[in-house]
Amino acid sequence: MRARLGDRLVIESPATGAPVRDGEIVGLHHADGTPPYDVRWSDTDDVTLVHPGPDARIRHTAGPGGEPAGGGSDEAPAPHAGGPPGGVNPGDIGRRVALERRRQGLTREETARRARMSPEYLAYLEQQPADPSPATLVSLADALHTTVSALRGAGLDLPPGQGRALLHPRLDDLGPEECRALLSTHGVGRVAVSAPDGRPVIVPVNYDVVDDAIVFRTRPDALPAAAVGAETAFEVDHVDEALSQGWSVLALGPASAVTDPEAVRRLTRTAHSTPWAGGEREMWVSIRPTTLTGRRITSADR
């Protein structure tokens, strides 16, 4: 008997051969996939060490191939049978798990311990198009302080913040250093500009922070380019739907176009991501904040 992480162990009735219990294999103890296994049972959500008997069989659900998945390191993901060259082909759930884990500063080992699974199984989930069991998703959501719906991507077309407010919320002002630290994480922010007809407009942009300046790419004829030459407001925030808390940072400062060829090359070379909107966006805009303010909502009960 050989299994891979993510396969299911099915226990059958000796009399009828019908399945009577099943669980997801979340830990291997031998590199060749032979027993015993750590199994998360679908009926109890318990994880136990199982030495399968003659009434057990393996139902392969992780794709073709014979080797078990591996790779407990964040820096060097291990290949998995059935994946593309290079070994990493994460599914949507795996991407969301990895993103939320890194956002919270958690190692794979710590997250696996919280979710009662092996680090190797968590690596498999993050690196392959896996289909974890409902019980595994519940454990992961609990470990990451989020929801199963969020890990599955439900509500992607809805604005954040639709959950209930905290019973005893606490609103704190953030100091300049904390604002700077939150702002420097880079991602998607909002820039406020005046449209050609004079109306105020708020536009989302992918941004980076370089040498204490907020920088983003756009087209010369696009709305974000209207920020150049003006005092500009730029906002970035994060909302934790599961805990009904979050933070926001507002930066105010003059915006200018980056025209020095060497500076443009350096920004292009070191950018963390390309604009999600796609297309040719060769113009770099820099906002150098003169004022940084922010607020954070947490529970006063903590």
Helix 108-115, helix 119-127: angle, nearest 10:
110
Residues 181, 187 contacting (CB under 8 angstroms): no
What was the pLDDT predicted at 293? 96
**pTM of the entire predicted model:** 0.56
Regions in the chain scoring below 70 on pLDDT: 62-90, 154-164, 241-242, 302
pLDDT score, position 73:
35
Query: What pLDDT score was predicted for residue 167?
Result: 76
- Pairing mode, strands 187-194 and 47-50: unpaired
Query: Class of 1-158 per CATH?
Result: mainly alpha
Domain ranges of the chain: 1-158, 169-299
**Dihedral of the CA atoms 276, 158, 105, 140 (nearest 10)?**
-120
Q: Are 108 and 122 in contact (CB under 8 A)?
A: yes
How high is the pLDDT of residue 162?
Answer: 67
Long-range contacts formed by 32-41: CB under 8 A, 24+ apart: 32/2, 32/68, 33/2, 33/3, 33/4, 33/66, 33/67, 33/68, 34/1, 34/2, 35/1, 35/3, 37/3, 37/9, 38/117, 38/118, 39/9, 40/116, 40/117, 40/133, 40/135, 40/136, 40/139, 41/135
Segment 81-125, tens digit of pLDDT:
333 333 444 578 888 899 889 888 899 999 999 998 888 889 888
| pLDDT for position 65 | 37
Fold exhibited by the domain 169-299: Pnp Oxidase; Chain A (2.30.110)
Q: Quick one: pLDDT at residue 82?
A: 33
pLDDT tens column, 225-255: 999 999 999 999 988 766 778 899 999 999 9
User: Rounded to 10 degrees, what is the CA torsion of 207, 209, 210, 212?
Assistant: 140
